[in-house]
Amino acid sequence: METSAIEMEEHHEGENGKDLGQASDASVHNGKMEPADENPDSSDITESTRPIFIMEEAIEEPSATCCGCGEENKERGNWTCQCEMILTSIGWAAGLGQLWRFPMLCFRHGGGFLAVWLGMHFTLGFPLVLLEMTLGQFTSQGPPRAWRGVPLLHGIGFAVVVMMSILAIYYNISMAYILHYLFVGSLRDLPYMVRCDNYWNTMECNDYGLTNKTRCQEVAGFMWYDDSAGFWQNYTQCPTKSAPEEYWRNYLLQISDGLENMGAVQPGLAGFLFLSWLMVFLVLAFGIKSAGKVAYLTTTIPFVLLVFLLFRAMSLDGAVEGLIYHVTPLPYAGFNNTDLWVDAVMQVIYSLGVGCGSYTMLSSYNRFHNNTVRDAVLVVLANVLVGILCLCMSAGFLGFLSKQLNEPIESLVSSGPHLVFVVFPRVLGLLPASYLWSILFYLTLLLLAFSCQFVIVETIVTSLLDLFPAGNNGTGGLCNRRMLLHLLLTFTSCILFFLLGLPLVTQGGLYLYNLLDNFVCSGFVLLPILLLKSIGISWFYTINRWGRDLSHMLQYSCCYCCNKLVTVVCQVCWCLPVPLYLVGSLVWTSLLWPNELYFESYKYSEGHVIMGWLIVGVELAPIPIVTIINCCLACCVKGRTIIRPPTDWGPYLQQHHRGKRGGKVLSQPHIPPKPTIMVVDSTVTSL
């Protein structure tokens, strides 16, 4: 008798010392085990005479399906459905950067940038996403403990947590702005936002004839010679600021003259900031399972809304011209332009969100034998799709606005908050049913930003929880110790980040926001972290050892041969092409970094720039600090090493360990405990 594909070699410690592994080929008569005939007649075997094997522990075959059932990791928990992890990862990748930055880069470099951007997704982005996902799934740990496998670079995990903590403070300010435009701008202020006859408008406001407040004025002392008329004429200057721009600066922000004058906290923005943090807390209150359920909405709805907005944009007059303008290759921006390649590298890194440890955190809740290659492919493809949708939608709306205002499209193209809160309100105000389209647009932005923000906070909370694993294990359900500690840490983090974010909603908060945006997740932080991650796995941990770990982890996945081929190609990329991309981009970014930093016409002082570099230093400081600590421990503590991973590092569950590591014998995966079998009255039971 055979039970599954695993050979049973159990030994009975009974009276005769007989190997009961051969009992499966025996017949049972009157409570005694007798050898079976060599060629037994199958008709003689009945249900009453067939031995029944009852194991001490059931053999749990790994699930290769998309949606596994049950908790594999009782302490940390797993995703209820693997679709939740994929959707949450897509939501993290498809953030605001695809709309804030990507269309501007396509406009700057032309269609050549689009081709390089697509290629970089699969030669740079996909290997980095797969690296972070596989590391999290293999260890079932957040970034700090996952990187214990490379003691020399253990500090990478702590550097990621510091960076994400600072990012969480100012990223949620974007949600506060979007909430204002969704609930106040779209529902109440949209008709006034595009006019120049409001109390917040100045003489520089231009609403293109919508009101009588827009007038061009003669500038005294300046004249110009009109060749066609043959005489001198007075120089006339028209207002240069749009009505939505004055609404943004004078009404919402009440912006000051610089970072030196922070001014007062804006109550409206502070209220929306509190609301955004309340939303984050409610989503993460019950851990990753509640976040996974929310991902069904925050990830799928933006895709649907982007499609609606795309169709509306392309149906407008001038939309096709705007799209052609964005994707037409430029003669001066060929493939030999270094800026094009570096911008493509940085855009892929920003849009996919690699280097932040989020994929490591999200995949740490996967089941051990989950098909990570499939997840990474879906995330990268979805990110490409979102980028193309955002590009076409933005180009269509800008082409329509250019046609309506009779202005060149290059004067309208911008990026960041200016594009979303200044340029797009001008477009939406010109559309029929402008209220509806404004609500749909800012709802899309809100969901894109929200899907990123709760992943940022969960990365921080999970990393802190994993640092103190002892005593956190519970019995399952909502009211276990880890869940309660997760609730406490989430609540504390949200309150702390809200208080630290209040300076960003003051009158000078936009200057501070732009300063943080230039340094917190700049290339000087992400590029070194990604470079160390790539060489840490491929060179220090060694690519052969990591390849064996991946083969062990993916052995039960669908189409194992295809996954093996993909991982081998990625191993080659981790060793050489990816580090070359990152080193080249880091060197080029350093060479082109300006000596002076500006925001619009405002120049940051040297003290402000030094503060930005100090932030960069604080984010990267954990890497050398932890390395020094580990080196000291390796010299002082017997058994510690700085070269090889610790003996207790690896898969979270003992059943997933394989072979030997550091002289410690580990159990083989998926081999159940050997059962003890006793035959009583034609029935086999376990002792």
What is the Cα 669 distance to its own chain's centre?
31
| Contacts (Cβ under 8 Å, ≥6 apart) of 476 | 71, 74
* Angle, alpha carbons 556-377-123 (nearest 5°): 120
Q: Tell me the C-alpha distance between 123 and 98, whole Å.
A: 19
- Asked if residue 4 belongs to a known ligand binding site, the reply is no
- Asked if residue 451 belongs to a known ligand binding site, the reply is no
* Residues 32 and 40 sit within 8 Å (Cβ to Cβ): no
* Residues 519 and 620 sit within 8 Å (Cβ to Cβ): no
Q: Tell me the C-alpha distance between 503 and 273, whole Å.
A: 11
CB-neighbour burial class of residue 475 (10 A; exposed 0-12, middle 13-18, buried 19+): exposed
* Residues 624 and 45 sit within 8 Å (Cβ to Cβ): no
Residue among 382, 527, 472 at smallest CA distance from 142: 472
Residue 219's CB: how many other CB atoms inside 10 A?
Answer: 11
Residues comprising the chain, all counted: 687
Q: How does DSSP assign 432-485, residue by residue?
A: TTHHHHHHHHHHHHHHHHHHHHHHHHHHHHHHHHHH--TT---SSSSSSHHHHH
What is the Cα 150 distance to its own chain's centre?
23
- Asked if residue 93 belongs to a known ligand binding site, the reply is yes
Q: Which residues of 346-373 are buried (b: 16+ CB within 10 A; e: fewer)?
A: bbbbbbbbbbbbbbbbbbbbbbbbbbbb
- Asked if residue 434 belongs to a known ligand binding site, the reply is no
**Residue 506, SS3 per DSSP:** strand
- Asked if residue 590 belongs to a known ligand binding site, the reply is no
Binding residues for Na(+), by number, are 91, 93, 351, 383, 448
Binding residues, by number, are 91, 93, 351, 383, 448
